[in-house]
Structure 1
Amino acid sequence: MSSFDVSSFDVIILRQWRIFCSAGIIGTLETSVSILAFSHAVNLTASRSEHKPVNAFRTLHRSILLLFAVVVIAIVTLVHFSISKIVAEQSRAQQQSLSPAISLIVSQILKPLHVSEALGKSRELVTLMEKNQLDEAEIFSALERMEQEFGLTFFIASEEARVQYNSDGSKLDLIEGEVSWYFKYRDSEADAIADIGKWEDTHFYIDIKIYDDAGKFLGFFGVGKSLKSFVSVFETYKRQYGYDFLFVDGKGDIMLSSDASLIAANADFTNLSELPWYASLPDKVIAENALNNQLITINGNDHLIAEVALPQFGWTVYLLSPLDARQAEISQGFIFSVVTLLVIIFALFLLIYNLLYYFRRDMQPELIIRNTHRLPDRTQLEESYGELTNKHSSLSIILVDIDDFMSINDQYGRNAGDDVLDKVSNLIGSHLRDKDILGRWSSEEFILLLPDMGPHEAHDLAQTLRHGIAILPPPAEHPDLQLTASFGVSFTATKRSMNEVTAHAEDALYQARRDGRNLVRVQLIDA
């Protein structure tokens, strides 16, 4: 038959359409009805004829597959782009949150540490503290100069004098039992300690141990910063970025926070375990203290925890990032990607739809073209003949010639002649098997390729067809029109060329004409 099966084309269209619909991208009822209506039209055409213009369907088939491939590539590319963009946005947002946070930690926490460590190693400071008789005026002058230069509060706590000198000009006797921090940190192994003190005006302190050249402990030199300044900076940062800070020591006590209610007062620290969101974490997370990248809920809003270690103090900074703004950014990026995808898919669908419309329009005339015009021509018949002789051991050929067809055209007109051809082809087709092939051999001749049919069976079929044509009712407008046909039969049981077999069938047909027409003649091929 034809080298392209229309039903398989229909399945391809429906299959591709189901993919679009299942993806939830295009699912309008009108479009589905339009496509299905076109498929129905194609099937209707197929039911009226077994043969179609092969090249047209091949072109359509390839175009559909090509456009479908383009759609798939577009979807994959855009999905990859969307995911990459979302990941990039997520990374950018994370970077935006961490970069200022790190800057804040460096400027507010690490900078005082570095300043105190650098000044603590100065020869001038060691000289001041190793004197047997301290010069208080010289000490206050040095501390005041440092405060003016760095904008921080400085102090010296002398082991020899057991006095703490502050840059504001005040001093405090270091009496054991009354001043706990000095004696607690003096006996610790750490040389740099972060602490919260001065509860009447709470300060953050960094205490640096000072030694002379012989390694003798001389006391502490340190930097102090009011917690009010931290709260002010944290509030500014929170307004700008929306994040909260928690500086937590090794015991879980909150040393510093952007939430003023969590800052220690009168030596009473808030522990991390007292916070509701912390208590709601899984036991494993709490046991392993693995809070980094944990998702928590605070006051009904989602937050993401970022963790930064401060090994200099044995602290951990927890950055609580609200996800509302980030989710909005990601949603906007996702919506943009989806809209872009829909636009591309819709544009490609319009191309496919217009292509289908073009072919549908091109094939609409096929629905009213006469059956005989859709029969395979000689080129297609030769291809079919080759396929049949490869698959079957024998084959008969019948040539059918409508008697006096030219006279019918001349006397009754061309339309009447076309009606005759249609009636004869319909009659012949009704007597054929599925594997038989009917084609046009010339303007008034038909050819039948009959695989696995012997010459006697072919002769009997020709007689049946001859009789059927002779009794066909004439057209209502031409009641005097009488149809007859002559038949030539040939047969081959070996693989021969089509020209050789049809040549014998033509000789038999000519013999039928010479003998008076409306006859069946057989001419076999000599072995």
Structure 2
Amino acid sequence: MNAFRTLYRSILLLFAVVVIAIVTLVHFSVSKVVAEQSRAQQQSLSPAVSLIVEQMLKPLHISEALGKSRELVKLMNTPSPDEAAILDTLARLEDEFGMTFFIASDKNRVQYNSDGTTFPLVKGEINWYFKYKDQAANAVADIGKWEDAHFYIDIKIFNDSGEFLGFFGVGKSLNSFITIFDSYKQTYGYDFLVVDDHGDIMLSSDPQLMASYSEFSNLADLDWFSALPEDVRNNQALNNKLVRIHDEDYLIAEVTLNQFNWTVYLLSPLDERQTEISQAFIFSVVTLLVVVFALFLLIYNLLYYFRRDMQPDLVIRSANRLPDKAGIEEIYKDTTAKNASLSIILVDIDNFSAINDTYGRNTGDDVLDKIVSFLKDNMRETDILGRWSSEEFMILSPQTGPHEAFELAKNLRHGIATLPPLPGHPELQLTASFGVSFTASGRPLKEVSAHAEDALYQARRDGCNLVRMQLADT
């Protein structure tokens, strides 16, 4: 809940920042005409940020998320990788996400591609693998596969021991970028240049500037760039610069992609009749773009923070969020100090070890979550649920007599036995056995729970899916 409150406040803060930014931009508008032009320009610029996120940052996030999956690590961590399983997994990912995926295995030095092809990773022939393997960065963006050039994101994969297993990556054909950029240019009139820190043009809305085989175009090759002052060229400081390309004026907006150490330049054509007033309102437009992108980076970093902060609520399974045995003992002491009587109900999932052995631990965890969710939804508000052992749970019922607790256990037993099956396992019928005990004299938990355990063992001996009771006080 603390994480949600913090997130709520952060969203309000971001909203306040956006409002203040808009008010400030309007305040600095030199006239109503300029303000209207500025708003129109802002509406056309905002899709540019969406385009960057969708086409460049989204593949990065997808590859980072998939790179942490246990399935992928398991495929790459075997001494002799299963080629068929790897290719099936990559083909499935390509069908699901509509992008090219690959695995470059360090175990056998082979690259597997989602189109079903493979080739050996030979030093001197496949330069990228050995170049990026030795670099400290765990995520690298590059252009490769020269017979059909692709934009690639390479993610380093490690096992639990920190051993490097190879690369997992995602690729998008440069031809797809050309189509997307051309569509955007037709709609909004902007040209794109995506440039690395050496000035090489990685992506562009101009097909002639896209990488061809191993050759990249460079900013220095462009006539309009060569005409800029030397200090601007040396620093690639093009933000808010007016340039003339093919007898037409363009204003450049600059956005830095820190994830790739790349820079995106948006080249906006300006009508000659608006050139004299363009400096005033374009400043507002560029400022808005910077604010929006800064907010995006802020949200991006906040999501990383909240992923850590909210993990206990969103990622850790329900059963693991319950009080453990030590926690139950503390709760029991506090409860018996405040209440004259208390019943204990032990819940044991029938045949849980067999479920784990037959269906795997993931299914076993799903069973635990399903049982815990049912118990939480069907207990009384005064009851307390905790984790007693790997497959046993304890319910503390203060101010509850033994017969009332017995009836509660019977209802819970029936409810579990009639739960719908897990998705994908219609044949798996869940049941649980219950042991009930009671004390009215403040006995230690160890003593009362021993009677509940004896009752639970009796339920198991009698055939499971039963409720039995053994009282600590007669």
Q: Give TM-score scaled by structure 2 length.
A: 0.51
CA pair 325-144 structure 1, distance change in 2 beyond 3 A:
farther
Q: How does 1:489-508 map to 2 (within 5 A)?
A: none
How far off is 1:96 after superposition?
2.4
> 1:229 aligns to what SS in structure 2?
helix
Q: 2:29–2:35: 8 Å Cα contact kept in structure 1?
A: no
Preserved contact between residue 116 and residue 223 of structure 1 (Cα < 8 Å): yes
3-state SS of 1:302 partner? strand
Tell me: CA distance 1:89–1:273, structure 2 relative to 1, closer, same or farther (3 Å).
Answer: farther
Match of 1:327 among 253, 267, 274: 274
User: RMSD value over aligned CA atoms?
Assistant: 2.2
Distance 1:272 1:93, change over 3 A: farther
Measure how far apart 1:154 and its partner are.
0.4
Contact 1:254/1:264 (<8 A) preserved: yes
Alignment equivalent of 2:229, drawn from 271, 282, 298:
282
- Please name the residue that 1:363 is paired with: none
The yes-or-no answer on 1:220 pairing with 2:167 is yes
Identify the match of residue 181 of structure 2 among 219, 226, 234: 234
Q: In 2, are the aligned partners of 1:89 and 1:330 still within 8 Å (CA)?
A: no
Say which of 129, 140, 143 aligns to 2:87. Answer: 140
- Distance change >3 Å, CA 308–CA 81, structure 1 → 2: closer
Amino acid of the residue matched to residue 305 of structure 1?
I
Q: CA deviation at 1:289?
A: 2.6
User: CA 1:247 to 1:326, structure 2 compared with 1: closer, same or farther past 3 Å?
Assistant: farther
TM-aligned CA distance change 1:81 to 1:147, over 3 Å: closer
* Structure-1 residue corresponding to 2:249: 302
Matches of 2:159 and 2:272, distance apart in 1: 54
Shift of 1:190: 0.9
Which residue of structure 2 lines up, in the alignment, with residue 83 of structure 1?
30
Corresponding residue for 1:118? 65
1:189 aligns with 2:123: no
Rounded Cα–Cα distance in structure 2 between residues aligned with 1:325 and 1:213:
61
Query: Structure 1 residue 250 and structure 2 residue 200: aligned?
Result: no
Q: Does 1:205 align with 2:159?
A: no
Secondary structure in 2 aligned to 1:195?
Answer: strand
Which residue in the other structure is 1:128 paired with?
75
d(CA) in 2 for partners of 1:139 and 1:81? 57
Q: Secondary structure of the residue that 1:255 maps to in structure 2?
A: strand
Q: Distance in 2 between matches of 1:234 and 1:172?
A: 32
Give identity over the alignment, percent. Answer: 67
Secondary structure of the corresponding residue to residue 259 of structure 2: coil
Q: Distance in 2 between matches of 1:81 and 1:158?
A: 56
Q: 1:299 to 1:121 in 2, by over 3 A?
A: same
CA contact (8 A) 1:86 1:330 kept: no
Tell me the CA shift for residue 98 of structure 1.
2.3
CA contact (8 A) 2:99 2:172 kept: yes
Equivalent residue pairs, number:
253
1:270 equivalent in alignment to 2:270: no
Contact 2:73/2:157 (8 A) holds in 1:
yes
Mark the runs of 5 or more structure 1 residues left unpaired by the alignment.
1-79, 335-527
1:347-386 deviation per Cα after TM superposition (whole angstroms, max 9, x unaligned): xxxxxxxxxxxxxxxxxxxxxxxxxxxxxxxxxxxxxxxx
Query: 1:82, 1:210 → 2: CA distance?
Result: 50
Q: How does 1:441-456 map to 2 (within 5 A)?
A: none
Q: Deviations over 1:428-449 (max 9, x none)?
A: xxxxxxxxxxxxxxxxxxxxxx
**What residue in structure 2 maps to residue 180 of structure 1?**
127
Q: What are structure 2's unaligned runs of at least 5 residues? A: 1-26, 282-474
Q: Secondary structure at the match of 1:99?
A: helix
Shift of 1:167: 0.5
Match of residue 153 from structure 1: 100
One-letter amino acid of the counterpart of residue 175, structure 1: V
Aligned to 1:119, the other structure's residue is in SS state helix
Q: Residue 371 of structure 1 aligns with which residue?
A: none
In structure 1, how many angstroms separate the alpha carbons of the residues matched to 2:139 and 2:33? Answer: 43
Equivalent residue, structure 1, for 2:115: 168
**Which whole-Å CA distance do the structure 2 matches of 1:138 and 1:168 have between them?**
14
In structure 2, the residue matched to 1:292 is 239
The structure-2 alpha-carbon separation of the partners of 1:145 and 1:324, relative to structure 1 and needing over 3 Å to count, comes to same
**Contact between 1:211 and 1:218, CA under 8 Å: does it hold in 2?**
yes
Amino acid at match of 1:100: P
Partner Cα distance (2:34, 2:237) in 1: 23
Letter in 1 for 2:107: E
Shift of 1:258: 0.2
Dislocated runs of 4+, deviation >4 Å: 328-331
1:250-280 deviations in Å (ceiling 9; x for gaps): 1000000000000011110011111111111
Rounded to whole Å, the distance in 2 between the matches of 1:329 and 1:145 is 55
- Does structure 2 retain, via aligned residues, the 8 Å contact 1:153–1:167? yes
Tell me how far 1:120 sits from its aligned partner.
0.2
**Structure 2 CA distance for aligned equivalents of residues 182 and 288 of structure 1:** 30
Q: Any idea what the Cα deviations from partners look like across 1:460-479, whole Å, max 9, x if unmatched? A: xxxxxxxxxxxxxxxxxxxx
Deviations 1:197-236 (A, max 9, x none): 1111111110000001111100000001110000000000
**Of 84, 96, 117, which residue of structure 1 is paired with 2:43?**
96
Residue pair 2:249, 2:272 contacting (<8 A) in 1 also: no
Q: Is the 8 A contact 1:302 1:322 kept in 2?
A: yes
Q: Relative to structure 1, is the Cα distance of residues 123 and 181 closer, same or farther in structure 2, using a 3 angstrom cutoff? A: same
Q: Distance in 2 between matches of 1:195 and 1:81?
A: 41
Asked if 2 retains the 8 angstrom alpha-carbon contact of 1:247 and 1:316, the reply is yes
Relative to structure 1, is the Cα distance of residues 225 and 324 closer, same or farther in structure 2, using a 3 angstrom cutoff? Answer: same
| TM score, norm. by length of structure 1 | 0.46
Moved more, 81-90 or 228-237: 81-90
Query: For residues 159 and 281 of structure 1, do their structure 2 counterparts lie closer, same or farther at Cα, with a shift above 3 Å needed?
Result: same
C-alpha separation in 2, matches of 1:99 and 1:218: 40
**Partner-residue secondary structure (3-state), 1:83:** coil
* Alignment counterpart, residue 260 of structure 2, candidates 310, 313, 316: 313
User: 1:90, CA displacement in angstroms?
Assistant: 4.3
Q: Counterpart of 1:152 in structure 2: which amino acid?
A: M
Q: Does residue 259 of the first structure (1) align with residue 202 of the second (2)? A: no
Whichever residue aligns with residue 300 of structure 1, its letter is: D
Q: 1:207 to 1:326 in 2, by over 3 A?
A: farther
Report the CA distance between 1:182 and its aligned residue: 0.5
Pairwise CA distance, 1:166? 0.4
The answer for the alignment partner of 1:344 in structure 2 is: none
